[in-house]
Amino acid sequence: MGRGSGFGKTILFNEHFVVHGVPGIVSAIDSAADAEVKKNGKGIAVEDTRKGAKGYAEKKRIQQKESIERMLKALNIDPEKVTMRIWLGGNLPGFSGIGASAASSVAIARAMADEFRMDLPDERINEIAYEAEKAYAGTPSGIDNTAATFGGLIWFKRNLSGGPNTIERLSIREPVEIVIGNTGIVANTKAMVAGVGERKKKFPEKYNALFKQAEELAFTARKALEEFDLRKVGKLMNENHRLLQEIEVSCKELDHLVNLAREQGAFGAKLTGGGGGGCMVALTPRKELQEAVATAMEQQGFKVLRTKIGIQKL
């Protein structure tokens, strides 16, 4: 039997903008998807045991099937001829926005490589998982599979001419507590990404100005993170949320959780991932602040994840 894992992630800056070549900053979190693959049975059977938003697995099933076929093709295996059983689990819940699809693709790619006795470097696993991401996100930037493969805190810039993306490891003084709040809405990343692309074409002046602001913000945020100026990082997250609202990827449930986190003293808060539902992230240094923000959300019936950014390894 082959085994593999992939990290969950939170995008701290510039989801969506990153699809169009603007730099983004992503951090792996201390939860992962695990996969086991065994060559036998009939056709390709998937047993998804991940905990999560009600309906997540059902809603993503068709995209998941396509993603597995894409990975097999990338490995030169004919999906029509292979028979295998895939088991998915791990402690990363199936929430939208925390890289559940990318983490599962990386986990499955590693488990398949293990089962088929292929010794693949992480760079190749990342490429295979990127193929899988196309099923979930349409035209993905590659930021999610990169975080799921390599972990840590990453500066990512997509190369729009097809060459290698810029992937730089960032380091911060120590890991910082965050809260990830889940609206409970299973979002369709593919539709959200396509929507931004369409509006960008339709309103070039408005969108070009917003994309310029997002680009500048990424550089300021990188500096603030490296200097460990967490108040500034939080302010920039708030600013990033405003830009994401302007490109119409937030929703009232995300805005509600973002406001709630700020009222409870979070240094900053923003949506994270594809938006349109899914999750938000709040910067909450120290356990007490993290607990206050997480509890306030739970008291209103939202599911949360208490985790950290800047963790290098699980």
- What residues make contact with ligand MEV under the rule CB under 6 A? 11, 15-16, 18-19, 137, 140-141, 143-144, 189, 193, 273-274
CB 84, min distance to ligand MEV, A:
27
The answer to whether 272 touches 180, Cβ cutoff 8 Å, is yes
Rounded CA separation 64/293 (Å): 33
CB 291, min distance to ligand MEV, A:
26
* DSSP result, 63-103: HHHHHHHHHHHHTT--TTT--EEEEEEESS-B-TTTTHHHH
CB 116, min distance to ligand MEV, A:
27
- What are 303's two structure tokens? 């599911």
Q: Classify 89 in phi/psi space as left (phi over 0), alpha (psi -120 to 50) or beta.
A: beta
Question: Closer CB to ligand MEV, residue 19 or residue 135?
Answer: 19
Question: Closer CB to ligand MEV, residue 188 or residue 264?
Answer: 188
Beta strands in 158-255 (DSSP E): 166-170, 176-182
User: Which residues 6+ apart lie within 8 Å of 147 measured at CB?
Assistant: 7, 9, 26, 27, 28, 99, 102, 154, 156
Helix pair 143-150, 100-115: axis angle to 10 deg: 60
The answer to whether 208 touches 201, Cβ cutoff 8 Å, is no
* DSSP result, 256-292: HHHHHHHHTT-SEEEEESS-SSSEEEEE--SHHHHHH
Question: Closer CB to ligand MEV, residue 8 or residue 285?
Answer: 8
Question: Closer CB to ligand MEV, residue 15 or residue 114?
Answer: 15
CB 13, min distance to ligand MEV, A:
11
Rounded CA separation 65/120 (Å): 22
CB 192, min distance to ligand MEV, A:
6
CB 141, min distance to ligand MEV, A:
3
Question: Closer CB to ligand MEV, residue 127 or residue 291?
Answer: 127
- What are 275's two structure tokens? 């938006």
CB 7, min distance to ligand MEV, A:
13
CB 186, min distance to ligand MEV, A:
14
Question: Closer CB to ligand MEV, residue 143 or residue 266?
Answer: 143
Question: Closer CB to ligand MEV, residue 264 or residue 272?
Answer: 272
User: Which residues 6+ apart lie within 8 Å of 269 measured at CB?
Assistant: 234, 237, 238, 241, 257, 258, 259, 261, 262, 280, 281, 282, 283
Question: Closer CB to ligand MEV, residue 112 or residue 143?
Answer: 143
